[in-house]
Amino acid sequence: MNGLYEEFRIAVHSVWQRRWLAMAIAWGICVLGWLAVALIPNTYESQAKLFVQTKAILPDNTGISAVERQKQIDTVEQTLTSAANLEKVVRGTDLGKNLVTPREVEGAVGGLRGAIKIKSEQDNLFEISATMSAGGRSDGEAATLARDVVQKLIDIFVEENLAGGRGETSDTLRFLDEQLAKRQKDLEIAEQKRVKFETENLGMLPGIGSVSQRLEQGRIEINQIDSQLIAAQSALAAINGQVAGTPQTIAGGAGGAVSPLAQAQGELASMKARGLTDQHPDVLALKSQIAALRAAGAGNANANYGVPNPAYSSLVSMKAEREAAVTALQSRKSALQGEMNAMVAKQIQEPGVAAEQARIARDYEVLKTSYDKLLGDREQVRLRGQVETQTDAVRFDLITPPSSPRTPVAPNRPLLLVAVLLAGIAGGVGGAFALGQLSASYPTSAKLEAASGLPVIGSISQMLTQAQRDERKRKLRMYLGSGGALVGVFLLLLMIEFIQRGSVV
């Protein structure tokens, strides 16, 4: 422990003996370092926070979904620092002053790319920052320029999200209109070709479609006609039975009065006309009544004449209508059967006609499906465009406007000034100590004895006169003044730095 303490004393003595050299080295390092720090231009940073709120009130198939809008915002965020957008920033701010050639503009764009940062703190919260150096301009101009750059970036961000989507919609609508016009012409040509072919070859059955489809339609219609024909024939048979059981005339009484027997027979004919069977209770009761009337008035001479039966006339009229319906259905069935037979015969004779018709129909359906899909897509794009232009689908809220920096973010001059001062002191002490190590003198007798290997008998202390003591005091005061001046310059530089920071406009 005593050895270390002795070594420390020797080192301090060595530096103290060369204190003026240490002071000179410290002054040199500090002056050069502080000059270098003073030449470093200040850098100012402006920041802003933008909140983007998307709305998804309309359904996704009509409007713009939140996912699509978020993708669009992410794309704009990624492309915001593209060369085209940065060139807009350069030309829209003071960065574009005195820039004439494209090479100069490219250089300004390249320098601006590294000065801009865009980060998403949350899903919809974006922070935009820009740093500008005061090299070649005043501190106030650099601070104002940083704020203008951030404001221009915000304007481009909003413009790209609003106008960019509208421009994309317009381009899409223009492309779809061109494709629709082309598809419409092709569809008209295919329609004319299909109509012409069907007129020449397949104009026998109603409807459209291939030969097999037409035949199937014919079979279905014949089956329907068969069902209708069976029902009509059943109705005709029923009416024939009713006509057969209804008398053409009914007996009348004297003076034109209708007898009770005639009335009962008329009621019975009316019941049968309504479809009541002989087993119906009312019919059975009425028949019993008629039998009783006949037994009671069989010898009455006034009942021998008759009048036309109105029920019979009605039944004959209904029979004629049902016969006409049956005849019409049979004629329609015969016509369809004949057309189908003719088509089958023609198909057997010309098998290529069916294949050609199927091909034409297939091409037409493909074109029509494509046209309908394009028409639906165009309508959806048009609606989406109206959503973007007529509704507030995206709202931009400026949470924090672009800040006007008052203090530079770099360099940290107070810290650099302190670092230079410490470096100067350390350099002076280190230089004096290194020079002491190179010296051939020995500060203590123990050092001399260790270096020579010979015993040292004794040592003589230095004796100073009063004049020498006064001279030493004067030099010490000069030395302390020199060190104080170094610290004073350091404090003065710190004061100037803080004054300059507060004076930035």
Domain boundary among 299, 334, 367: 367
CA distance 399 to 154: 12
Residues 415 and 468 in one domain: yes
Is residue 161, in this structure, part of any structural domain at all? no
3-state helix, strand, coil in the chain (%, to 5): 70, 10, 20
Does some domain include residue 405?
Answer: no
- Whether residues 327 and 221 fall in one domain: yes
Residue 27: per-residue pLDDT: 95
Q: What is the pLDDT of residue 385?
A: 62
**Token representation of residue 500:** 């300059």
Is residue 169 over pLDDT 60?
yes
For residues 110-130, give the mean pLDDT: 81
Question: Are 436 and 331 members of one domain?
Answer: no
Judgement on whether residues 357 and 440 belong to the same structural domain of the protein: no
Structure-model confidence comparison of residues 246 and 182, the more confident one: 182
What does the pLDDT look like over 61-108, one tens digit per residue? Answer: 444 555 555 565 566 566 677 888 888 888 888 888 878 788 888 888
Range of the domain at 416: 2-40+411-502
pLDDT at 306 over 60: no
Residue 260 CA to residue 297 CA, distance in Å, equals 10
Report whether pLDDT(29) > 90. Answer: yes
Q: Where are the alpha helices (DSSP H) in 245-309?
A: 260-273, 281-296
441-453 pLDDT per residue, tens: 766 666 667 767 7
Burial call 338-353: b when 16+ CB within 10 Å, e when fewer: ebbeebeebbeeeeeb
Give the Cα separation of 143 and 408 in Å (integer): 8
pLDDT cut 90: percent of the chain above it: 11
* 376 inside domain: no
pLDDT, tens digit, 9 for 90 and up, residues 203-249: 444 445 556 677 788 888 888 988 888 988 888 888 888 777 777 76
- Residues 238 and 322 occupy one common structural domain: yes
305 and 359 inside one domain: yes
**Are 363 and 451 members of one domain?**
no
- Residue 16 falls inside a structural domain: yes
Same domain, 345 and 419: no
Residue 317 lies in a domain: yes
User: Is the pLDDT reported for residue 421 higher than 90?
Assistant: yes
Domain boundary among 339, 367, 395: 367
Q: Are residues 362 and 416 in the same domain?
A: no
Bridge partners (DSSP) listed for residue 53: 395
Residues 6+ apart with CB under 8 A from 53: 124, 394, 395, 396, 397
Q: Which of 332, 367, 402 is the last residue of a domain?
A: 367
Whether residue 81 contacts residue 401, with contact meaning beta carbons closer than 8 Å, is answered with no
**Domain tally, the chain:** 2
27-53 burial, b at 16+ Cβ within 10 Å, e below that, comes to: bebbeebbeebeeebbbbbbbbbbebe
- Asked if residues 248 and 304 have their Cβ atoms less than 8 Å apart, the reply is no
Establish if 233 belongs to a structural domain: yes
Query: Please, which pLDDT band fits residue 256 given cuts at 50, 70 and 90?
Result: very low
Which of 394, 399, 388, 385 has the alpha carbon at shortest distance from 73? 394
Residues 348 and 217 in one domain: yes
Whether 431 is covered by a domain: the verdict is yes
Residue 496 lies in a domain: yes
Neighbours of 221 (CB within 10 A): 17
Torsion over CA: 380, 385, 386, 391 (sign):
positive
Q: Are residues 325 and 419 in the same domain?
A: no
- How many CB atoms are located within 10 Å of the residue 400 CB? 12
Q: What is the mean pLDDT of the chain?
A: 77
pLDDT at 376 (0 to 100): 81
> Do 241 and 340 fall within a single domain?
yes
Q: Is 218 exposed, middle or buried (0-12, 13-18, 19+ CB in 10 A)?
A: buried
